[in-house]
Copies of this chain bind each other. A is one copy, B any other.
Amino acid sequence: MNTETIKARLKQQKIETPSWGYGNSGTRFKTFPAPGAASTVWEKVEDAAFIHSLTGIAPSVALHIPWDRVEDYSELKKHAQDLGIQLGAINPNVFQDVQYKLGSVTNPDAAVRAKATQHLLDCVEVMKQTGSRDLSLWFADGTNYLGQDDLRKRKRYLREALQQVHDRLPEDGRMLIEYKLFEPAFYHTDLADWGLAYLHAVSIGEKAQVLVDLGHHAQGTNIEHIVSTLLDAGRLGGFHFNARRYADDDLVVGTTNPLELFAIYLEIVQAENDPSEALRKHVSEVAFMIDQSHNIEHKLEAMLQSVLNCQEAYAKALSVDFDLLTEAREQGEVLKANRIVMDAFYRDVRPLLRELREEQNLPADPYAALEESDHLKKVLRDRQSSDVGGGFPS
């Protein structure tokens, strides 16, 4: 691809930022209040819009319900649109109510399951008001001890709840089923891996898709292989981007192993370039979202860095010489194929991105723009730094 084509593709890139990434969050040991952290959904939307104004590629913000519950979602939608962004995926929270101690939709108690399912259905209603396409489902459900519960029974409970929700989704709506190896459950997690999310999605229906969170895999897992598998199967709903070395560390995207982020975007680009129209359509619908938890970082700086790291990874992936690559692969030239891909990874795309931003009247240096911005001054001055803010996990 020539530079102009690459730029054109880069202008289409979209990254959704999460409302909860603008509020305080922490580890189980401590939530340190972050200076200028947002505490209301209105402030979070303002922060998301500000990040979009710096980057041009973060045009929507995901919501978490009930953290971001408001009386009138049309008002919130208007607030976002006035600031130049959209409301994005709706994320129901079914893990903080005291009744969910032993699970939500897989709880042994039918009343708790019903309550959790109702909350999911309520969130479908929210989608309709916010105009959101995606219901993004993460469950903390699981057990801590061998024998604690009946694994097959829980699987059926989960299926029932997901099916009900699926059948109430709006015409163009989707549900994204997220999986996670562990935490907060430490023996088994009802949706432990992509295989389980896929198994449910296929049985439930066309609107059920799989969500890949980069921090939710066992050590050694090849995530880009999962991405390619789900793309090929037509079930890649979207991503929750973040970085990790140990567990679900939820760090700034691309900081632990930038080659992995690049490898994921490489699968995306190959699908975008594929001759199959169905595959190209499928990949065009994938939701690219950030989900990270800041324990010691400045909120806006962390989100900006994550968004820009996604942009760099995509720009590098677009730079691969795919004709050469195909030839090397067909010839079985193992290391040459690797070097063709690595050549793109080692390309310094920052000058190109600076150029791209200037063409779009965006700040050439977004970090400097953040540092000098009125928005930053304002939030540092005006917002109550609070230990019990609206962030994650609050």
Contact of B297 with A146 in the complex, beta carbons under 8 Å = no
> Are A33 and B98 neighbours in the complex by a CB distance under 8 Å?
yes
Docked Cα-Cα span, A67 to B197, in Å, equals 39
**Interchain nearest-CB distance for A291 vs B (Å):** 13
Question: Is B195's CB under 8 angstroms from A194's CB?
Answer: yes
Specify the chain B residue showing the minimal Cβ separation from A202.
B202
Instruction: Give chain B nearest CB distance to A262 CB in angstroms.
Output: 9
What string of 1s and 0s marks CB contacts (under 8 Å) between A204-233 and chain B?
Answer: 000000000000011111101100110111
From B32, B144, B199, B247, contact of A247 by CB (8 A): B247
A334–B144 CB distance below 8 A:
yes
What's the least CB distance linking A226 to chain B, in Å?
Answer: 8
Is A53 an interface residue when CB atoms closer than 8 A count as contact? no
Question: Roughly how many angstroms separate A50 CA and B19 CA in the complex, as a whole number?
Answer: 46
Report A331-367 residues with CB < 8 Å from chain B CB. 331-332, 334-342, 345-348, 350, 367
Q: Evaluate contact between B184 and A27: CB separation under 8 angstroms.
A: yes
A334 touches B245 (CB 8 A): no
Q: Which residue of B lies closest to A312 (CB)?
A: B346
- Checking B181, B297, B330, B336 against A144 with a beta-carbon cut-off of 8 angstroms, the contacting residue is B297
A265 to chain B, nearest CB (A): 12
What residues of B have a CB within 8 angstroms of the CB of A258 in the complex? 259, 345
CB contacts (< 8 Å) of A330 on chain B: these are 108
Assembly CA distance A147 to B347 (angstroms): 16
Stretch binding the partner chain, chosen from A38-46, A73-81, A148-156: A148-156
Across-interface contacts of A233 in B (CB, < 8 A): 199
* Chain A positions 93 through 112: 1 when the CB is less than 8 Å from some CB of chain B, otherwise 0: 00110101110000011000
For the complex, what is the distance from the CA of A301 to the CA of B145, rounded to whole Å? Answer: 14
Q: Output the nearest chain B residue to A250 by Cβ-Cβ distance.
A: B186
Q: A219-B220, A231-B152 are in contact. Are A249 and B186 (CB under 8 A)?
A: yes
Q: How many whole Å from A337's CB to the nearest CB in chain B?
A: 5
In the docked arrangement, what's the CA distance between A98 and B295, Å?
12
- Knowing A29-B184, A335-B305, A338-B146, the reply to whether A257 touches B255 (Cβ < 8 A) is no
Contacts A151-B229, A186-B246, A247-B247 supplied; 14 other A-B pairs, CB < 8 Å: A108-B330, A109-B332, A144-B296, A146-B255, A147-B266, A147-B340, A148-B338, A149-B329, A182-B247, A196-B229, A218-B218, A220-B246, A256-B259, A258-B345
